[in-house]
Amino acid sequence: MGQPAAFVLCLEHGGYEASLEPRKVYRAVADSEAEAHGLIRVIDESGEDYLFPAHLFVRIQVPEQAEKAFSAVG
C-alpha cells in the first residue's frame, strides 16, 4: 500500500475564500517538488488536488477511526 494518509488543518484561507475554509481538515498529498517551493497539495471536496501556500496549514495526526471517516464516500 502507499504512504500513510497525511492530514492538515487550514489556519486561514489566505485569499482563497472559494477553496479553503479555516479550521477545516484536509487530506494532503505528498509532493516534494511543491514542498521545496513552500507549497502543499491538498484535496478538496471535489476530490481534486490543488497547490496552496504551506503556511496556510499545519500538519495534524488523526486517530485511525477518524482517518477512516475522512476516507468514507457518502
| pLDDT for res 51 | 96
C-alpha closest to that of 40 among 50, 24, 3, 18? 50
CA angle centred on 50, ends 45 and 52, rounded to 5°: 115
Q: Residue 28 falls within a domain, yes or no?
A: yes
Instruction: Report the 10 Å Cβ neighbour count for 43.
Output: 14
| Amino acid letter, 42 | V
Q: What is the mean pLDDT of residues 19-43?
A: 95
Q: Is residue 1 a part of any domain in this protein?
A: no
Tens digit of each residue's pLDDT (9 = 90 or more) over 20-31: 999 999 999 999
* Distance (Å, whole) CA 74 – CA 72: 6
| Between residues 66 and 14, the one the model is more confident about | 14
What is the domain range of residue 27? Answer: 6-71
* Count of domains observed in the chain: 1
Looking at 1-74, list the stretches that DSSP marks H as alpha helix, in order from N- to C-terminal side: 32-36, 64-71
Structure confidence at residue 1 (pLDDT): 40
Query: What is the domain-level CATH number for residue 51?
Result: 2.30.30.40
At 8-17, the pLDDT tens digits run: 999 999 999 9
Instruction: Report whether pLDDT(35) > 80.
Output: yes
